[in-house]
């Protein structure tokens, strides 16, 4: 079994902020593993997220950035 990643580690791997990773988890786009109060992510889940993002790139309209 691979070691679980904390929010900050996932953020560094994906070049995102920790708040963005938390939002991805809250939105259901990244599945967490909760151990007590800790929120962790399996490395395979990070790979799944990246693979899905490559197959379905987000447009500005989908991300809500067209209103900015």
Residue 46 sits in which domain range? 5-58
| pLDDT score of 59 more than 80 | no
Q: Give pLDDT, residue 15.
A: 94
Question: What average pLDDT does this structure show over 44-57?
Answer: 91
44 found inside a domain: yes
Question: What average pLDDT does this structure show over 55-61?
Answer: 67
67 found inside a domain: no
Residue range 6-46, pLDDT digits in tens: 999 999 999 999 999 999 999 999 999 999 999 999 999 99
Q: How many domains does the chain have?
A: 1
Residue of 36 and 62 predicted with greater confidence: 36
16 found inside a domain: yes
Show the DSSP H helices in the chain as ranges: 7-14, 18-26, 43-55, 60-63
CATH number of the domain bearing residue 14: 1.10.1660
68 found inside a domain: no
- CA 30 – CA 55 distance, rounded (Å): 16
37 found inside a domain: yes
């Amino acid at each position: 079994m691979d070691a679980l990643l904390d929010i900050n580690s996932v953020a560094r791997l994906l070049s995102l902020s920790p708040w963005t990773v938390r939002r991805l988890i809250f939105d259901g786009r990244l599945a967490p593993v909760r151990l007590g109060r800790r929120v962790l992510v399996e490395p395979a889940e990070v790979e799944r997220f990246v693979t899905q993002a490559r197959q379905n790139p987000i447009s500005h309209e989908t991300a809500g950035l067209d209103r900015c």
